């Protein structure tokens, strides 16, 4: 009996230690939660890599995110998507309307990055932005990363999951990524947390990170 009790206690301690380690001290219970906590604790600097897009003067991602003093809310999409990307676009449309309605929101911008540069040419992005999304280029810009290895490096760094479905489309996660005025990914929000993401971006802008 004593041996059984000791063995059970050791198993419980081991399971507890393992759960604590895997959940960052019981603060999170999912991989997505761990990803978000890690970003808060250690912001991720945007890498320097070539980009291009309609009405985008900058030719480097880091320069785009850190060179103009704006806080940026970023999403990853592709223009042939008929589900999650449209929901992300609708969210950005609502954010754009909120930003246009508030003159004091001059320090916040929106950026959509396609992870399908083979099909999403600059002209395709131009059509998507203007015709489908009604994006105001002063607030909301679209870019592509021409180099496939750079694109994968960016997805890995920002922990964006993109899996080809074998039919030319992709399965992918969707989130709202807040990048501060220094070009660092500092917070990740769910799609349903759009107001929180916008409020946090506004807060950073108001704190003088412009």
In the predicted model, what is the mean pLDDT of residues 119-127? 97
C-beta separation of 50 from 162 below 8 A: no
Residue in 154, 145, 159 with CA at minimum distance from that of residue 60: 145
Claim: this prediction has a pTM higher than 0.75: yes
Judged by average pLDDT, the poorest of 44-48, 76-80, 157-161, 180-184 is 157-161
Task: Categorize the per-residue pLDDT at 19 as very low, low, confident or very high, splitting at 50, 70 and 90.
Answer: very low
What is d(CA 171, CA 202) in angstroms, rounded to the nearest whole number? 31
- For residue 182, is pLDDT > 80? yes
Task: Categorize the per-residue pLDDT at 167 as very low, low, confident or very high, splitting at 50, 70 and 90.
Answer: confident
The two tokens of residue 130 are 């203007």
Considering the segment(s) 41-206 as one domain, its CATH architecture is 3-Layer(aba) Sandwich (3.40)
What does pLDDT average to over the chain? 85
Q: What is the pLDDT of residues 127-152, one digit of tens each?
A: 999 999 999 999 999 999 999 999 99
In the predicted model, what is the mean pLDDT of residues 171-180? 93
The pLDDT of residue 27: 41
The pLDDT of residue 130: 97
SS (H, E, C) 25-74: CCCCCCHHHHHHHHHHHCCEECCCCECECCCCCCCEHHHHHHCCCCEEEE
In the predicted model, what is the mean pLDDT of residues 65-69? 89
């Amino acid at each position: 009996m004593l041996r059984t009790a000791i063995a059970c206690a050791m198993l419980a301690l081991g399971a507890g230690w393992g759960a604590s380690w895997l959940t960052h001290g019981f603060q999170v219970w999912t991989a997505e939660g761990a990803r978000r906590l890690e970003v808060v604790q250690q912001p991720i600097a945007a890498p320097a890599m070539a980009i291009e897009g309609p009405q985008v003067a900058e030719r480097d991602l880091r320069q785009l995110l850190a060179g103009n003093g704006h806080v940026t809310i970023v999403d990853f999409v592709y223009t042939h998507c008929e589900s999650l990307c449209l929901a992300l676009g609708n969210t950005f449309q609502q954010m754009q309307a909120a930003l246009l309605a508030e003159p004091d929101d001059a320090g916040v911008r929106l950026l959509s990055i396609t992870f399908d540069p083979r099909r999403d040419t600059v002209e395709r992005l131009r059509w998507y932005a203007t015709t489908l999304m009604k994006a105001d280029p002063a607030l909301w810009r679209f870019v592509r990363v021409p180099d496939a290895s750079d694109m994968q490096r960016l997805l890995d760094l920002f922990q964006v999951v993109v899996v080809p479905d074998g039919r030319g489309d992709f399965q992918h996660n969707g989130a709202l990524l807040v990048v501060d005025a220094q070009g660092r990914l500092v917070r990740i929000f769910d799609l349903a947390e759009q107001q929180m993401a916008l409020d946090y971006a506004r807060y950073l802008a108001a704190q003088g990170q412009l």
